[in-house]
């Protein structure tokens, strides 16, 4: 099992980033890496609530589903949840931590993904997250009146 750490500073308020992680329509817009589309099947964004979503490869049509439970939610500050793939070849639960900290030019976003299955190279996971975080930036940074 591996751990991935990501850090970005975005020109957006922390509450907007927080909402982007918990709003199903927002997640569909930014979370799937390039070449995939996302679908949120269920989301109960409260401590003890669960979520389930899937990514579908746009070229092949193959999907993989995943989901988990919200462990801790502190508005505009912290999201902690479990994450588990439904594929039996990707066993084990992952622990996700999304930390938000206001900084002079916006918000520092730190993501820690613990317990990545050994069959997923950390570099591939990081590359996918980089693509997703680019899409997140495009969603949360514009100041549209």
For 89, the token pair is: 């070849």
Instruction: Give the ranges where 9-121 is alpha helix by DSSP (H).
Output: 14-22, 24-30
Q: Is the pLDDT of residue 37 over 90?
A: yes
Give strand pairing partners of 37.
56
Which is it for strands 93-103 and 106-116: parallel, antiparallel or unpaired? antiparallel
- Predicted structure pTM score: 0.94
With tokens 């997640």, the residue in question is 27
- How far apart, in whole angstroms, are the C-alpha atoms of residue 99 and residue 7? 9
Question: What was the pLDDT predicted at 47?
Answer: 98
What length does the chain have?
145
């Amino acid at each position: 099992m591996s751990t991935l750490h990501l850090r970005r500073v975005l020109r957006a308020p922390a509450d907007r980033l927080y909402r982007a992680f918990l709003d199903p329509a927002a997640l569909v817009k930014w979370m799937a890496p390039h070449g995939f589309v996302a679908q949120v099947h269920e989301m109960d964004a409260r401590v003890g609530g669960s979520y389930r979503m899937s990514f579908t490869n746009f070229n092949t049509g193959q999907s993989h589903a995943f989901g988990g439970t919200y462990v801790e939610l502190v508005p505009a500050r912290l999201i902690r949840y479990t994450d588990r793939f439904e594929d039996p070849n990707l066993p084990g639960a992952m622990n996700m931590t999304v930390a938000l900290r206001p900084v002079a030019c916006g918000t520092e976003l730190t993501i820690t993904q613990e317990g990545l299955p050994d069959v997923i190279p950390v570099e591939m996971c990081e590359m996918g997250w980089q693509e997703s975080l680019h899409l997140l930036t495009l969603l949360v940074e514009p100041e549209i009146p």
